[in-house]
Amino acid sequence: MSKKILSKEQSELVAEFVATYNLSEEQISFDGNSTEPIFDYEALNVLRLRLTDLQDTDPWIAERNETLGIVTAKCTVTLADGRTASDLGSAQLGEVMPDGGKIENFIQAQNVALARALRRGIRSAGVNLLKAHKQFLQTGEIVSGAADEETLSKIGREIHALAAEWGHIKGKDKSDYQSFIENVFGTGKRSTLDLNDIEKSQLANMYRQMLNSRNIAGLELPKAA
Protein backbone atom coordinates (compact mmCIF):
# COMPACT_ATOMS: atom_id res chain seq x y z
CA MET A 1 0.00 0.00 0.00
CA SER A 2 1.38 3.42 -0.96
CA LYS A 3 2.23 5.86 1.78
CA LYS A 4 -0.38 8.52 2.44
CA ILE A 5 0.54 11.91 1.02
CA LEU A 6 0.51 14.60 3.70
CA SER A 7 -0.32 18.25 3.25
CA LYS A 8 2.39 20.87 3.68
CA GLU A 9 1.16 21.76 7.19
CA GLN A 10 0.93 18.10 8.20
CA SER A 11 4.43 17.41 6.88
CA GLU A 12 5.81 20.39 8.79
CA LEU A 13 4.23 19.17 12.02
CA VAL A 14 5.65 15.68 11.54
CA ALA A 15 9.12 17.16 10.96
CA GLU A 16 8.81 19.25 14.15
CA PHE A 17 7.87 16.28 16.33
CA VAL A 18 10.53 14.04 14.79
CA ALA A 19 13.27 16.63 15.28
CA THR A 20 12.21 17.77 18.75
CA TYR A 21 11.38 14.45 20.44
CA ASN A 22 13.30 11.92 18.33
CA LEU A 23 10.11 10.25 17.13
CA SER A 24 9.82 8.44 13.81
CA GLU A 25 7.50 9.53 11.01
CA GLU A 26 5.62 6.22 11.28
CA GLN A 27 4.52 7.12 14.81
CA ILE A 28 2.48 10.11 13.60
CA SER A 29 -0.61 10.08 11.39
CA PHE A 30 -3.58 12.31 10.59
CA ASP A 31 -7.28 11.77 10.00
CA GLY A 32 -7.91 13.12 6.52
CA ASN A 33 -6.94 16.77 6.22
CA SER A 34 -6.91 17.37 9.97
CA THR A 35 -3.82 19.03 11.41
CA GLU A 36 -4.30 17.34 14.80
CA PRO A 37 -1.61 14.62 14.93
CA ILE A 38 -2.53 11.08 15.94
CA PHE A 39 0.35 9.49 17.86
CA ASP A 40 0.97 5.82 18.50
CA TYR A 41 1.27 4.40 22.01
CA GLU A 42 5.04 4.85 22.41
CA ALA A 43 4.97 8.40 21.05
CA LEU A 44 2.18 9.34 23.45
CA ASN A 45 4.27 8.17 26.39
CA VAL A 46 7.29 10.15 25.20
CA LEU A 47 5.23 13.31 24.74
CA ARG A 48 3.46 12.90 28.07
CA LEU A 49 6.84 12.80 29.83
CA ARG A 50 8.38 15.64 27.82
CA LEU A 51 5.47 18.07 27.63
CA THR A 52 3.32 17.65 30.75
CA ASP A 53 3.46 17.38 34.52
CA LEU A 54 1.07 14.42 34.53
CA GLN A 55 2.43 12.03 37.12
CA ASP A 56 1.31 8.69 35.74
CA THR A 57 -0.75 6.97 33.07
CA ASP A 58 -2.17 3.48 33.53
CA PRO A 59 -3.74 2.03 30.37
CA TRP A 60 -4.98 -1.55 30.32
CA ILE A 61 -7.24 -3.85 28.31
CA ALA A 62 -10.70 -3.72 29.88
CA GLU A 63 -12.51 -6.09 27.51
CA ARG A 64 -11.73 -8.34 24.55
CA ASN A 65 -14.83 -9.48 22.68
CA GLU A 66 -13.87 -12.40 20.46
CA THR A 67 -17.34 -12.64 18.89
CA LEU A 68 -17.47 -9.04 17.68
CA GLY A 69 -13.73 -8.59 17.23
CA ILE A 70 -13.71 -5.54 19.52
CA VAL A 71 -11.04 -4.64 22.07
CA THR A 72 -11.77 -1.95 24.67
CA ALA A 73 -9.04 -0.34 26.77
CA LYS A 74 -9.21 2.07 29.68
CA CYS A 75 -6.61 4.58 30.83
CA THR A 76 -6.38 6.33 34.20
CA VAL A 77 -4.22 9.45 34.29
CA THR A 78 -2.86 10.89 37.53
CA LEU A 79 -2.43 14.66 37.68
CA ALA A 80 0.31 16.47 39.59
CA ASP A 81 -2.04 17.14 42.53
CA GLY A 82 -3.04 13.48 42.81
CA ARG A 83 -6.44 13.74 41.12
CA THR A 84 -7.22 11.19 38.45
CA ALA A 85 -9.04 11.23 35.14
CA SER A 86 -9.91 8.30 32.94
CA ASP A 87 -11.31 7.45 29.54
CA LEU A 88 -11.88 4.60 27.11
CA GLY A 89 -10.54 3.61 23.70
CA SER A 90 -11.64 0.76 21.46
CA ALA A 91 -10.66 -0.85 18.18
CA GLN A 92 -12.23 -3.48 15.95
CA LEU A 93 -10.86 -6.11 13.61
CA GLY A 94 -11.14 -4.94 10.00
CA GLU A 95 -11.26 -1.27 10.96
CA VAL A 96 -9.56 1.02 8.45
CA MET A 97 -6.91 3.25 10.00
CA PRO A 98 -6.08 6.86 8.98
CA ASP A 99 -3.10 5.64 6.93
CA GLY A 100 -5.36 3.31 4.94
CA GLY A 101 -4.21 0.10 6.60
CA LYS A 102 -6.57 -2.32 8.35
CA ILE A 103 -6.52 -3.84 11.81
CA GLU A 104 -5.91 -7.46 10.93
CA ASN A 105 -5.51 -9.23 14.29
CA PHE A 106 -6.17 -8.86 18.00
CA ILE A 107 -2.60 -7.77 18.78
CA GLN A 108 -3.01 -4.78 16.47
CA ALA A 109 -6.48 -4.10 17.90
CA GLN A 110 -5.10 -4.11 21.43
CA ASN A 111 -2.29 -1.71 20.51
CA VAL A 112 -4.70 0.69 18.83
CA ALA A 113 -7.19 0.50 21.71
CA LEU A 114 -4.44 1.21 24.26
CA ALA A 115 -3.19 4.19 22.25
CA ARG A 116 -6.71 5.59 21.92
CA ALA A 117 -7.40 5.14 25.63
CA LEU A 118 -4.11 6.84 26.51
CA ARG A 119 -4.77 9.70 24.07
CA ARG A 120 -8.29 10.27 25.42
CA GLY A 121 -7.09 9.89 29.00
CA ILE A 122 -4.54 12.65 28.47
CA ARG A 123 -7.23 14.84 26.91
CA SER A 124 -9.62 14.11 29.80
CA ALA A 125 -6.93 15.53 32.10
CA GLY A 126 -7.15 18.78 30.14
CA VAL A 127 -4.00 18.36 28.05
CA ASN A 128 -3.85 18.90 24.31
CA LEU A 129 -0.46 17.60 23.18
CA LEU A 130 -0.36 19.75 20.03
CA LYS A 131 -0.96 22.91 22.08
CA ALA A 132 1.56 21.67 24.66
CA HIS A 133 4.13 21.18 21.88
CA LYS A 134 3.60 24.71 20.54
CA GLN A 135 3.92 26.15 24.03
CA PHE A 136 7.10 24.16 24.63
CA LEU A 137 8.66 25.49 21.41
CA GLN A 138 7.75 29.07 22.32
CA THR A 139 8.57 29.12 26.03
CA GLY A 140 10.34 25.88 26.94
CA GLU A 141 7.65 25.27 29.57
CA ILE A 142 5.54 22.16 30.07
CA VAL A 143 1.78 22.20 30.67
CA SER A 144 -0.22 21.26 33.73
CA GLY A 145 -3.21 18.95 33.64
CA ALA A 146 -6.18 21.22 34.10
CA ALA A 147 -8.98 21.67 31.62
CA ASP A 148 -9.42 25.11 30.05
CA GLU A 149 -12.84 26.72 29.61
CA GLU A 150 -13.15 25.58 26.00
CA THR A 151 -12.47 21.96 26.96
CA LEU A 152 -14.86 22.11 29.93
CA SER A 153 -17.61 23.55 27.75
CA LYS A 154 -17.08 20.79 25.19
CA ILE A 155 -17.18 18.10 27.89
CA GLY A 156 -20.39 19.62 29.29
CA ARG A 157 -22.11 19.46 25.91
CA GLU A 158 -20.92 15.88 25.42
CA ILE A 159 -22.25 14.85 28.83
CA HIS A 160 -25.70 16.20 28.02
CA ALA A 161 -25.71 14.37 24.68
CA LEU A 162 -24.58 11.11 26.31
CA ALA A 163 -27.12 11.45 29.13
CA ALA A 164 -29.88 12.01 26.58
CA GLU A 165 -28.76 8.98 24.58
CA TRP A 166 -28.80 6.88 27.75
CA GLY A 167 -32.27 8.15 28.63
CA HIS A 168 -31.49 10.24 31.71
CA ILE A 169 -32.55 13.43 29.91
CA LYS A 170 -35.96 13.39 28.24
CA GLY A 171 -36.70 16.75 26.68
CA LYS A 172 -36.80 19.23 29.54
CA ASP A 173 -37.02 16.51 32.20
CA LYS A 174 -33.56 16.18 33.82
CA SER A 175 -34.64 14.59 37.11
CA ASP A 176 -33.01 11.22 36.38
CA TYR A 177 -29.84 12.99 35.22
CA GLN A 178 -29.68 15.13 38.36
CA SER A 179 -30.31 12.16 40.63
CA PHE A 180 -27.59 10.14 38.87
CA ILE A 181 -25.03 12.91 39.37
CA GLU A 182 -25.97 13.29 43.03
CA ASN A 183 -25.78 9.53 43.64
CA VAL A 184 -22.31 9.37 42.10
CA PHE A 185 -20.70 12.57 43.41
CA GLY A 186 -22.59 13.31 46.60
CA THR A 187 -25.39 15.41 48.03
CA GLY A 188 -25.76 18.86 46.53
CA LYS A 189 -24.14 18.01 43.22
CA ARG A 190 -26.93 17.81 40.64
CA SER A 191 -25.46 19.30 37.44
CA THR A 192 -22.13 19.73 35.65
CA LEU A 193 -22.01 23.25 37.13
CA ASP A 194 -21.48 21.60 40.52
CA LEU A 195 -18.58 19.42 39.31
CA ASN A 196 -14.89 20.21 38.93
CA ASP A 197 -12.99 19.48 35.73
CA ILE A 198 -11.96 15.95 36.76
CA GLU A 199 -15.45 15.03 37.94
CA LYS A 200 -16.85 16.18 34.60
CA SER A 201 -14.40 13.92 32.77
CA GLN A 202 -15.33 11.05 35.08
CA LEU A 203 -19.04 11.60 34.42
CA ALA A 204 -18.53 11.63 30.66
CA ASN A 205 -16.50 8.44 30.97
CA MET A 206 -19.23 6.74 33.00
CA TYR A 207 -21.84 7.47 30.36
CA ARG A 208 -19.51 6.27 27.59
CA GLN A 209 -18.90 3.02 29.48
CA MET A 210 -22.60 2.43 30.07
CA LEU A 211 -23.48 3.14 26.43
CA ASN A 212 -20.60 1.01 25.20
CA SER A 213 -21.74 -1.94 27.36
CA ARG A 214 -25.34 -1.51 26.22
CA ASN A 215 -24.34 -1.36 22.55
CA ILE A 216 -22.20 -4.49 22.84
CA ALA A 217 -25.00 -6.32 24.68
CA GLY A 218 -27.39 -5.32 21.90
CA LEU A 219 -25.06 -6.64 19.24
CA GLU A 220 -24.78 -9.94 21.08
CA LEU A 221 -28.53 -10.54 21.36
CA PRO A 222 -29.49 -13.71 19.47
CA LYS A 223 -31.47 -13.19 16.31
CA ALA A 224 -35.04 -14.43 16.18
CA ALA A 225 -35.50 -17.68 14.31
| Domain at 8-139: CATH code | 3.30.390
Write down the pLDDT at residue 224. 45
The per-residue pLDDT for range 138-190, each reduced to its tens digit, is: 999 999 876 566 666 778 889 999 999 999 999 989 999 999 999 999 989 99
Answer yes or no: is pLDDT of 38 > 80.
Answer: yes
Confidence of residue 220 (pLDDT cuts 50, 70, 90): low
What are the pLDDT digits (tens) for 89-125?
Answer: 999 999 998 878 899 999 999 999 999 999 999 988 8
Report the 10 Å Cβ neighbour count for 209.
16
Q: With a cut of 50, say whether residue 203 has pLDDT above it.
A: yes
pLDDT-based confidence at residue 200 (cuts at 50, 70, 90): confident
Domain ranges of the chain: 8-139, 149-220
